[in-house]
C-alpha cells in the first residue's frame, strides 16, 4: 500500500514526528510512506487544510496513493475538506479505538487527526497506537464481527451516493481556482512522488500544464 502523509501549515512543525512514527509502524508491514509535507512551519510552500483536502483527492483519484494520513489543529477542517471531494472517505481519528473501528466499519482511505488537541506528553505513543490499529490486517471486516454484512452493505451504498453527489476529479481540477490548485501541487516533493506513482494519465497531464503555467 502507498500511504501519503500531508500536513497543513498550522501543524507543520509536527511533520517529522508523525512521519517517523508512521514509517516505523507501516514499513514492517510492507507499506511505503510518501511525505508530501509541509515539512516545517517555515516551508516556502504553505498548505491550508482546504488544500490538504484537494491534494488528498488528487492522490486518491489518480491512485498515486492508496491511503492518506493528514490532519490539522482539530482534525475537523481537514476531514471536512477531504470529504468534499469524490472517492475520498476520511475519518476524524483521535485514539486507537477510533482508528480500528473506522478501518473495520467504514473502510475509508484517509484519516484526519487533531494535532493541536492533546498533543503533549506521550503524543508519539498515541500516534503509534493509532497507526497500529489503523493498519491492522485487512480493513472493512466489520466491528463487531456479527455486524460485518450490514456494515459492508452500507459502505457500498455510501460509495454509490458519493459517485452521484460528486463530479469527476478531472472536471474539478479544470474548474477550481487555478492559482489555488498550483499552490497546492507546488511542494518540493510533489512532482517527484506524484508523477512516479500516478495511474491516471489525464490527471497527470493536466497537472503538468498547471505546473508549467
Tens of pLDDT, residue by residue over 65-116, are 999 999 999 999 999 999 999 999 999 999 999 999 999 999 999 999 999 9
Per CATH, which fold does 2-211 belong to?
Answer: Ribose 5-phosphate Isomerase B; Chain: A, (3.40.1400)
Cβ 96 vs Cβ 25: under 8 Å: no
Global pTM value: 0.96
Contacts of 153 (CB under 8 A, 6+ apart): none
Residue ranges of domains in the chain: 2-211
Q: Which three cell numbers stand for residue 67?
A: 491511503
Distance (Å, whole) CA 46 – CA 32: 24
Amino acid at each position: 500500500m502507498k500511504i501519503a502523509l500531508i500536513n497543513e501549515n498550522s501543524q507543520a512543525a509536527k511533520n517529522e514526528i508523525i512521519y517517523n512514527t508512521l514509517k516505523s509502524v507501516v514499513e514492517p508491514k510492507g507499506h511505503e510512506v510518501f511525505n508530501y509535507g509541509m515539512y516545517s512551519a517555515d516551508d516556502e510552500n504553505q498548505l491550508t487544510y482546504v488544500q490538504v483536502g484537494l491534494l488528498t483527492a488528487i492522490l486518491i483519484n489518480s491512485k498515486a496513493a492508496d491511503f492518506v494520513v493528514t490532519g490539522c489543529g482539530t482534525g475537523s477542517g481537514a476531514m471536512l475538506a477531504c470529504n468534499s471531494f469524490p472517492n475520498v472517505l476520511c475519518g476524524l481519528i483521535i485514539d486507537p479505538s477510533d482508528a480500528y473501528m473506522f478501518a473495520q466499519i467504514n473502510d475509508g482511505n484517509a484519516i484526519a487527526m487533531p494535532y493541536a488537541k492533546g498533543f503533549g506528553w506521550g503524543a508519539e505513543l498515541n500516534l503509534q497506537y493509532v497507526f497500529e490499529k489503523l493498519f491492522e490486517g485487512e480493513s472493512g471486516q466489520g466491528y463487531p464481527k456479527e455486524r460485518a454484512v450490514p456494515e459492508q452493505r452500507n459502505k457500498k451504498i455510501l460509495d454509490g451516493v458519493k459517485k452521484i453527489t460528486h463530479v469527476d476529479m478531472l472536471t474539478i481540477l479544470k474548474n477550481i481556482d487555478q492559482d489555488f490548485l498550483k499552490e497546492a501541487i507546488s511542494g518540493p516533493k510533489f512532482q517527484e512522488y506524484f508523477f512516479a506513482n500516478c495511474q491516471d494519465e489525464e490527471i497527470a497531464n493536466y497537472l503538468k500544464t498547471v505546473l508549467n503555467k
